[in-house]
Amino acid sequence: MSRVVDLKPRVPAKVRNRLANIDLLTPHDQAKFVIGDRVDYDWSVALLREHALDQKAEVLFSPSYGQLAPDTLAAWILEDRLPVRFQWQLHKQLWGEKPGT
- What's the pLDDT tens digit per position in 25-53? 999 999 999 999 999 999 999 999 999 99
Dist. CA 14–CA 20, nearest whole Å: 16
User: How far, in Å, CA of 64 to CA of 32, rounded?
Assistant: 12
- Of residues 37 and 97, more confidence is placed in 37
pTM for this prediction: 0.86
pLDDT band at 84 (very low <50, low <70, confident <90, very high): very high
Whether the per-residue pLDDT at 23 is higher than 80: the answer is yes
Map residue 8 onto helix, strand or coil: coil
Query: What is the rounded average pLDDT of the residues 59-83?
Result: 96
The separation between the first and the last C-alpha atoms of the chain, rounded to the nearest angstrom, is 25
Is the Cα torsion angle 11, 14, 19, 25 positive or negative in sign? negative
What is the Cα–Cα distance from 91 to 79, expressed in whole angstroms? 27
39 touches 76 (CB < 8 A): no
What sign results for the dihedral spanned by CA atoms 37, 41, 42, 44?
Answer: positive
- Cα(32)–Cα(90) distance, integer angstroms: 14
Average pLDDT, the chain: 90
